[in-house]
Amino acid sequence: MIEERQILNFIPPQLDGIKSNDSRRYMVITNNSNFIQMINISKVQGKEHKMLVTGNKRLKDFKPFRIPSFAKADTLYTIEYFPELEEFISFGGQKLNEEDFNNILLERGKYINKTNNIKIINFTKEEFLRKNKESLLV
């Protein structure tokens, strides 16, 4: 079962305005057994300037990530729940600590209140599986 604060690692069918064939990490913020909501987690290295962007939140304790990381809380990614998603759980199911998790949700709320911009990107099961089918074969 996928739980809040766990990390999924997959190739997104789409990103905020761009296409990508690179695997990315997403932290689950909601799983209500019908759909999952996630926020992208990225490494800080080479992206230090993004720490100044409203909606981005640097993690204080970046475990289970191995390197300093930040959350891109300005965009919410959603997908319908299906059992194969569990194969994309990273770090053996370890979760982000509650303090960083709550700070990310607060930053998202601040971003929405400040900008009145709610960015949501939805994936379908079919789009997800089409983009990640090779990962399931491994």
Residue 137 lies in a domain: no
Measured from the Cβ of residue 34, the count of other Cβ atoms closer than 10 Å reads 7
Q: What integer pLDDT is reported at residue 137 of this predicted model?
A: 59
Residue 30 lies in a domain: yes
- Into how many domains does the chain fold? 1
Residue 135 lies in a domain: no
Which segments of the chain have a pLDDT < 70? Answer: 16-18, 135-138
pTM score, whole prediction: 0.89
Q: What integer pLDDT is reported at residue 136 of this predicted model?
A: 66
Largest CA distance in the chain: 43
With 0-12 / 13-18 / 19 or more C-beta atoms within 10 angstroms meaning exposed / middle / buried, residue 14 is middle
Residue 75 lies in a domain: yes
∠ Cα 29 66 12 (to 5°): 45
Q: What integer pLDDT is reported at residue 138 of this predicted model?
A: 52
